[in-house]
Amino acid sequence: MKKTPRRTTIYDIAQLADASPSAVSSVLNGTWKKRRISVKLAERVTQVAEAQGYAVNAQASLLRREKSNVIGMIVPKYDNRYFGQIAERFEEMARARGLFPVVTCTQRDPELEFEAAKELVSWQADCVISTGATDPDRISAFCSAAGVQSLNLDLPGTAAPSVVSDNRAGARVLTALILDRCAAEFGTSGALRFVGGRLSDHNSARRLEGFLEEHRARGIEVPEAHVLATGYSADKAAAALSGFRPTGPTGLFVNSTIALEGVVRWLGELGPAMDLVRYGCFDWDPFGGYLPGNVGMVEQDVEAMLSRVLGMVGEEAPAGEVSYVPCLLREFGADGVSPRTGQGG
Amino acid sequence: MKKTPRRTTIYDIAQLADASPSAVSSVLNGTWKKRRISVKLAERVTQVAEAQGYAVNAQASLLRREKSNVIGMIVPKYDNRYFGQIAERFEEMARARGLFPVVTCTQRDPELEFEAAKELVSWQADCVISTGATDPDRISAFCSAAGVQSLNLDLPGTAAPSVVSDNRAGARVLTALILDRCAAEFGTSGALRFVGGRLSDHNSARRLEGFLEEHRARGIEVPEAHVLATGYSADKAAAALSGFRPTGPTGLFVNSTIALEGVVRWLGELGPAMDLVRYGCFDWDPFGGYLPGNVGMVEQDVEAMLSRVLGMVGEEAPAGEVSYVPCLLREFGADGVSPRTGQGG
DNA sequence: CTTTTTTGCACAATCGATTGCGCATCTTTG
DNA sequence: CAAAGATGCGCAATCGATTGTGCAAAAAAG
């Protein structure tokens, strides 16, 4: 355990174990049976390597190989349950498939997204997955020029295959739940308000579709003023609601947990009028169910999305193809447990 | 934009730009002035590279360099605000310092932690940061044998310098807050209950110290049965409380947001008795402030911790040295806003 | 005891970028 | 116009691991 100025290499080990570098290499990477190295030498090498605290130089190793098994993912944020789960489960599932996951967080910054993707290509990633990217097509174009596969997750693109939640169906089921609960608890069920997100965003647009669809199916008209998709931040959601003081039963469709933060802030300032409000949220958070007035949340099926996207790694698929994954609805307060699936066409 | 079977290399570019590979290399990595390459050639090369969608082969590049500027971090989970923030801010801050952050999530699995650290060394990381690691010393030993710097974050080790929150002081301030609020709202202030975590865990042990210290300072004795540090999970926290039905004013010190999930579950089953309960939580979550009965949360100062730990990269520091970072207290319900600092000695 | 086969291992080229060195050409100086 | 210096760029070695190939020695076959 002396301080070596340079890291130990297979050459050092070769010398110590009285073997050749090629023998050492094959022993340490497991190809030694095929190279007919004796068990005796293999054990000797392994021991020396262990004793020296050897770790392969991934750079040298990957430089020589043709496949890197590195799989890159860019993610906008780690600070909410959804993306946190995606990153965490992705690493786990990729590892289970013998791949080397490299995840990097790009803060919803389009420029950073592109730089990060480029960096992943530099690291010889075999595939780059763009999660919730603002400009996935730019990334796909670059990857395709570099001969690297790219896939989109959470937000679709046109230049690579995409896996996204079935936002429309999920939103419709959530809308139905909120309307039902308002009806059950208040007897009345006017049009809900749609809070948070931005309609230029694909997912928000799909959710609004589902939201409107369910209203239409019930013959409820949604006034334009009920659509408060003013942006992705707690402040913006709170600001959008700030002028509104409910005087009767009120239902909200909250579009993301970040918007939910703004909604509960607004609720807190409402005083007793807050008892007139019921809401549901698209996206799940463990504390969501304990917030007063919350009737349910939609959880996106991260596991299913990831296994679908990982199944596409190394496969050919048409560029614009979009694969929809059903969401799960978690209802609170009524029976409280069993999630029902936001299936649908 | 034709599909190249192999990625573009400097040799391809050299040919297209009618230059030598060494010229191309120096142009693309910015050292071309020092190598007296003409602006004309530099521009030509840059253009060809752009047109070909060139991205350096990081493997080849790093193999030749002596410093990689790669800085690795292992993190137990992404699924709570604290670690999510750490990962996210770490990437940002490291990048700002010209480093290449590589973060990997190890699920609190000691074996996986070690494997991940080894992998980071393979990637030629100049420094490995172990965050919340169960066995940081093992990682440090390996790194030191490989000649790689290692640092500990969140949980201290003895084989490398550590940066941790001042858990004791933070816990004491939180304890004081809960006791004060119980006194203010109920008039009485018996001993709180300490819920969640495990005392074999360094941070939990320090927090319990602060908890007991504040009680002692107020002359309040803490019955042994009030310490419910039964583990790190919502279920365990809920189970620890399940037999308990408060009959009078009750205060809880909740040790982590994961335990808080269990506590609010328990609260939900309490019915009206839940109005007798006030609690505070060590660790912050954006929805925490809206949970009924929550008087405050301690937020660890991620920014400060990271800038301190990043400041140690490349520096010599005594192995066992522990650097304590003050926490921030966020109070809810009373004035609700200004965080006061969990300073103290 | 040969010939053939198998076993066990080493040699050397290679992956792509970096970089010390050196050689032309061009410019300036005396 | 020659000598000295500056400018512009290419050559080739190098980083550490992988892998096709080849060559002894040992074992098996005849």
CA distance A100 to chain B (A): 10
Structure tokens at A294: 């919350």
Q: Which residues are within 7 Å of strand D by their Cβ atom? A: A 6-7, 9-11, 21-22, 25-26, 28-29, 31, 35, 54, 56-57, 60-61, 63-65; B 18-23, 35-38, 40-41, 60, 63-64
* A102 Cβ under 8 Å from any chain B Cβ: yes
Smallest Cα–Cα separation from B112: which of B84, B80, B139, B140? B139
The pLDDT value recorded for residue B24 is 97
* A107 Cβ under 8 Å from any chain B Cβ: yes
Smallest Cα–Cα separation from A286: which of B288, B271, B294, B332? B288
The pLDDT value recorded for residue B263 is 95
The pLDDT value recorded for residue A5 is 61
Structure tokens at B90: 């770490």
Mean pLDDT by 10 residues, chain B (345 residues): 68 95 95 93 95 94 92 94 95 95 95 96 96 96 93 97 98 97 90 95 97 97 96 92 92 96 91 92 92 95 98 93 97 58 39
The pLDDT value recorded for residue B336 is 39
- Strands A294-299 and A327-331: what pairing? antiparallel
* A287 Cβ under 8 Å from any chain B Cβ: yes
The pLDDT value recorded for residue B333 is 80
Please report, as a single letter, which amino acid is at residue A256. Answer: S
The pLDDT value recorded for residue A339 is 41
Contact assessment for residue A203 and residue A163, using Cβ atoms and an 8 Å cutoff: no
Q: Is the CB of B67 under 7 A from strand C?
A: no
The contacts of residue B230 (CB under 8 Å, 6+ apart) are B196, B198, B236, B237, B239, B240
Please work out, in degrees rounded to the nearest 5, the angle formed at the alpha carbon of residue B12 by the alpha carbons of B11 and B18: 85
Nearest nucleotide (C1') to the CA of residue A63?
C15
Structure tokens at A123: 């690291």
Q: Is the CB of A45 under 7 A from strand C?
A: no
Please report, as a single letter, which amino acid is at residue B270. Answer: L
The spacing between the Cα labelled CA in A267 and the C1' in D19, in angstroms, equals 67
A333 chain-B contacts, CB cut-off 8 A: none
The pLDDT value recorded for residue A337 is 40
Please report, as a single letter, which amino acid is at residue B93. Answer: M
B103 chain-A contacts, CB cut-off 8 A: 103-104
Exposed e or buried b for every residue in A193-217, given b needs 16+ CB within 10 A? bbbbbeeebbbbebbbebbbbbbee
The spacing between the Cα labelled CA in B321 and the C1' in C17, in angstroms, equals 39
- Specify which residues B104 forms β-bridges with: B74
> What does the alpha-carbon distance between residue B92 and residue B306 come to, in Å, rounded to a whole number?
10
Best of A89, A119, A122, A281 to mutate (most B CBs within 10 Å, chain B): A122
The spacing between the Cα labelled CA in B249 and the C1' in D1, in angstroms, equals 106
A116 chain-B contacts, CB cut-off 8 A: none
The answer to whether the Cβ–Cβ distance between A78 and B100 falls below 8 Å is no
Contact assessment for residue B73 and residue B101, using Cβ atoms and an 8 Å cutoff: yes
Rounded to 5 degrees, what are φ and ψ at A298?
Answer: -100, 125
> What does the alpha-carbon distance between residue B61 and residue B178 come to, in Å, rounded to a whole number?
56
The pLDDT value recorded for residue A330 is 96
Smallest Cα–Cα separation from B330: which of B300, B302, B299, B287? B299
The mean pLDDT of chain B is 92
| pTM score, whole prediction | 0.92
Contact assessment for residue B226 and residue B164, using Cβ atoms and an 8 Å cutoff: no
Other Cβ atoms within 10 Å of A38 Cβ, number: 10
> What does the alpha-carbon distance between residue A23 and residue A320 come to, in Å, rounded to a whole number?
47
Q: Is the CB of A6 under 7 A from strand C?
A: no
- Nearest-CB residue to A290 (from B59, B102, B268): B268
The answer to whether the Cβ–Cβ distance between A147 and B234 falls below 8 Å is no
CA distance A271 to chain B (A): 13
Structure tokens at A111: 């420029």
- The kind and range of the H/E element at A49 are helix A39-52
The pLDDT value recorded for residue B45 is 96
The pLDDT value recorded for residue B337 is 40
DSSP state of A147: T
Contact assessment for residue B251 and residue A252, using Cβ atoms and an 8 Å cutoff: no
The pLDDT value recorded for residue A124 is 94
Q: Is the CB of A23 under 7 A from strand C?
A: yes
Provide the residue-wise pLDDT of chain A in tens; the chain has 345 residues: 434 467 899 999 999 999 999 999 999 999 999 999 999 999 999 999 999 999 999 999 999 998 899 999 999 999 889 999 999 999 999 999 999 999 999 999 999 999 999 999 999 999 999 999 999 999 999 999 899 999 999 999 999 999 999 999 999 999 999 999 999 999 877 999 999 999 999 999 999 999 999 999 999 999 999 999 998 889 999 999 998 999 999 999 999 999 999 999 999 888 888 899 999 999 999 999 888 899 999 999 999 999 999 999 999 999 999 999 999 999 998 643 434 444 433
> What does the alpha-carbon distance between residue B229 and residue A115 come to, in Å, rounded to a whole number?
45
Q: Is the CB of A184 under 7 A from strand C?
A: no
The answer to whether the Cβ–Cβ distance between B63 and A60 falls below 8 Å is yes
> What does the alpha-carbon distance between residue A190 and residue A79 come to, in Å, rounded to a whole number?
34
* A186 Cβ under 8 Å from any chain B Cβ: no
Q: Is A218 exposed, middle or buried (0-12, 13-18, 19+ CB in 10 A)?
A: middle
Distances (CA, A) of A34 to A38, A53, A207: 11, 25, 55
Structure tokens at A159: 């230049």
Strand order across the beta sheet in which A250-255 lies: A227-228, A193-195, A250-255, A277-282, A294-299, A327-331, A340-342
Nearest nucleotide (C1') to the CA of residue B25?
C17
- Nearest-CB residue to A264 (from B52, B63, B287): B287
